[in-house]
Amino acid sequence: MTSPATSSVKTRHFLKDTDLSPAEQAEVLDLAVRLKAAPYSVQPFAADGSGRQTVAIIFDKTSTRTRVSFATGVADMGGNALIINPGEAQIGHKESVEDTAKVLERMVSTIVWRTGAHSGLVAMAENSKVPVINALCDDYHPCQLLADLLAVKEHKGELQGLTMAYLGDAANNMANSYLLAGVTAGMHVRIAGPEGYLPSDGIVAVAQERAAETGGSVLITTDAAEALTGADVVATDTWVSMGQEAEKEARLQLFRKYSVDEAAMAHAADDAVVLHCLPAYRGYEISAGVIDGPQSIVWDEAENRLHAQKALMAWLMHQSGLAVVEGLPPVGGQA
């Protein structure tokens, strides 16, 4: 396989949900299904002399699922996961993002980064000839949504045409990603939260444009029941995201009416499934009865981080001309 320096194919990155077209998102999810059934069948990072083995995984914020799923996924695909914990590298305090990217792209096959500002990820990608993956930032959590959509697909079959309601902090990274990834899959996405904590006009405009392409739709509301009525999928997230700890007491009051509890679930379809990216705070954004009950698919969702991110990494390597994944359409000069 070619090295990044010699590849004539444009490097692909995954910084936000709409970086994948509807057809590409479907292709990644299909590959995830394949990899879940045959975990070692795709080896883009294998030590066969054709490419690079190491994936740099940088955390500016804490993590359990993202860290374990990326590290496991890289190992499953023949590679070496280099985990860089908060404060361990020079990035952000002693060295710019741009210079960091220019060093990492000389050594690793992929850069995975959990950080705050989305603009940092854009700067990393602009200076990297190897794929850059957003492992959560203040505005998006697109890897999580690939896992969520995979879980819904497994439980419901087709994603197209399903109604998905998200309740709670509707201005956070998960709300934005539910909106963008959901409409990309052709879903009817309803987002409910209090005034002042709804998706920005810019995000809504992008979502509406994507929905027009796929047959999905967008509803933004302050009325939880309006969002929930007849929903096939009900999702929520913590009311206190990483970095918002000082606002905790105010936030616990602010979002009270948007809890996914038994009363809320009574509005949804009888066979609705429930998502939560975790970590969860029982008794706040979700009741113990709902998250631990029969409609919850949160453990499948968590497991699917592994399968979905393996598919994403392999797909980005293939699309960037840095590996060949059997079964995907050839890119550039690939045989």
Please list the residues that pair with 276 across neighbouring strands: 236
Asked if 55 interacts with ligand CP (CB under 6 A), we say no
Among 144, 236, 287, 296, binds ligand CP (CB under 6 A): 144
Stretch that binds ligand NVA, among 41-49, 120-128, 166-174, 325-333 (CB under 6 A): 166-174
CA distance 173 to 194: 16
In DSSP notation, 255-273 reads TGGG-BSHHHHTTS-TT-E
Per-residue binding letters, 289-308, with ligand CP (x by CB under 6 A): --------------------
Under rule CB under 6 A, residue 84 binds ligand CP? no
Q: Residues 238-267 vs ligand NVA: string with x where CB under 6 A?
A: x--xx-------------------------
Work out whether 304 is an interface residue with ligand NVA (CB under 6 A).
no
- Of the ranges 6-14, 190-198, 233-241, 289-297, which one interacts with ligand NVA (CB under 6 A)? 233-241
Query: Count of alpha carbons within 13 Å of 124, Cβ hemisphere only?
Result: 30
**Is residue 65 annotated as a catalytic residue, yes or no?**
no
Beta carbon of residue 43, minimum distance to ligand NVA (angstroms, whole number): 29
The correct pick among 71, 265, 277, 308 for binding ligand CP (CB under 6 A) is 277
Residue that has been written with the tokens 């994936």 in this structure: 55
Closest to ligand CP by CB, 71 vs 207, is 71
- What's the token pair of residue 13? 């990155």
Q: Report how far residue 8's alpha carbon sits from residue 269's, in angstroms, rounded to the nearest whole number.
A: 49
In the chain, alpha helices (H):
22-37, 65-76, 97-104, 118-126, 142-156, 173-184, 201-214, 224-228, 248-254, 262-265, 288-291, 298-319
- Size of interface with ligand NVA, in residues (CB under 6 A): 10
